[in-house]
């Protein structure tokens, strides 16, 4: 399977703490994207990082990409209860292929 | 502007019946995708339309599943002779161009329950 694998599967933290989620994949990619999903419905795009980039920031989000290790991490700083959701990494492999999603990390932020 | 919309939001059907799920992409987006998400699972790619090119159907799980996109806009996913294992949330997404360069914008999904 070319599926990305998120780690951990579930994460529970206190409000104000940082949350780190990891994603590993198996083959070379064109880009990697992180999405958030609330209540099992539509996904919201967070960040896209290209294979020639190593780090991107967006507000309280920081994404890193290590193509040599075929891994990415999503860091949410100063977490809030509203950050409670499932977070998915999705990869676009070389070639005209669609996104391949992992099974996600379920983040719970406790107020 | 308006996002991706899907209808119905919920569909309950009996085993063996056919169902049609609709997706209205963001206006001007050339690429449209269908995914399926079973309980507690990640998204499973089903089919991808890009402009006037032949669709990528490699993710369709069986020949009971089909999709069309009329006029490069609205898409319909049809499941014939539904089975209980077809129960899932079906998500549609669109992007301005293709998956290499663009963010995909997702609709709210259709929750299908096959009794």
- Chain B partners of A35 at a C-beta cutoff of 8 Å? 106
Q: Which residue has the higher pLDDT, A109 or A101?
A: A109
Tokens 């193509």 -> residue: A67
As averages over each run of 10 residues, the pLDDT of chain B (115 residues) reads 90 98 94 89 87 89 94 93 96 83 87 96
What is the Cα A39 distance to its own chain's centre? 17
CB contact under 8 A, A88 and B42: yes
User: Which pLDDT score, from 0 to 100, does residue A2 have?
Assistant: 47
User: Which pLDDT score, from 0 to 100, does residue A19 have?
Assistant: 97
Could you tell me the pLDDT band of residue A35, with boundaries at 50, 70 and 90? very high
List the single residue in A31, A43, A92 with the smallest CB-CB distance to B106: A43
List the single residue in B4, B43, B109 with the smallest CB-CB distance to A101: B43
Could you tell me the pLDDT band of residue A30, with boundaries at 50, 70 and 90? confident
Mean predicted confidence (pLDDT) in A48-62: 95
Mean predicted confidence (pLDDT) in A58-68: 96
Query: Taking the CB of residue A87, how many other CB atoms lie within 10 A of it?
Result: 23
* Cβ atoms of residues B49 and B34 within 8 Å: no
Angle at A48 between CA B67 and CA B108, to 5 degrees: 40
Instruction: Please state, in angstroms and as integers, the Cα–Cα distance from residue A52 to each residue in A29, A68, A92, A101, B115, following that order.
Output: 10, 11, 13, 20, 48
Percent of all residues in chain A with a pLDDT value above 70, rounded to a whole number: 92
User: Which pLDDT score, from 0 to 100, does residue A98 have?
Assistant: 72
What is the Cα B84 distance to its own chain's centre? 18
User: Which pLDDT score, from 0 to 100, does residue A1 have?
Assistant: 45
Instruction: Please state, in angstroms and as integers, the Cα–Cα distance from residue B78 to each residue in A2, A57, A91, A101, B23, following that order.
Output: 26, 40, 27, 23, 11
User: Which pLDDT score, from 0 to 100, does residue B19 have?
Assistant: 98
Residue in chain A lying closest to B5 (CA): A42
Residue in chain A lying closest to B43 (CA): A101
B54 contacts chain A (CB < 8 A): no
């Amino acid at each position: 399977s070319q599926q990305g694998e998120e780690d951990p599967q579930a994460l529970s933290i206190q409000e104000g703490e940082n949350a780190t989620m990891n994603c590993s994949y198996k083959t070379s990619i064109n880009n990697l994207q992180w999405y958030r999903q609330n209540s099992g419905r539509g996904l919201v795009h967070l960040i896209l990082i290209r294979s020639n980039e190593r780090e991107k920031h967006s507000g309280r989000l920081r994404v890193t990409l290590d193509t040599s290790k075929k891994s990415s991490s999503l860091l949410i700083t100063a977490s809030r209860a509203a950050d409670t959701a499932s977070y998915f990494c999705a990869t676009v492999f070389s070639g005209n292929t669609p996104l391949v999603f992992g099974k996600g990390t379920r983040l719970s932020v406790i107020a | 502007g308006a996002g991706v919309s899907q209808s119905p939001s919920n569909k309950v059907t009996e085993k063996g019946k056919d169902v049609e799920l609709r997706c209205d992409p963001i206006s001007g987006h050339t690429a449209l995708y269908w995914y399926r998400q079973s309980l507690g699972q990640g998204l499973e790619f089903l089919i991808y339309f890009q402009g006037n090119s032949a669709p990528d159907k490699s993710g369709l799980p069986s020949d009971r599943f089909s999709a069309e996109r009329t006029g490069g806009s609205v898409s319909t996913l049809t499941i014939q002779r539904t089975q209980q294992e077809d129960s899932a949330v079906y998500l549609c997404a669109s992007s301005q161009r293709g998956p290499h360069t663009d963010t995909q914008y997702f609709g709210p999904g259709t929750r299908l329950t096959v009794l």
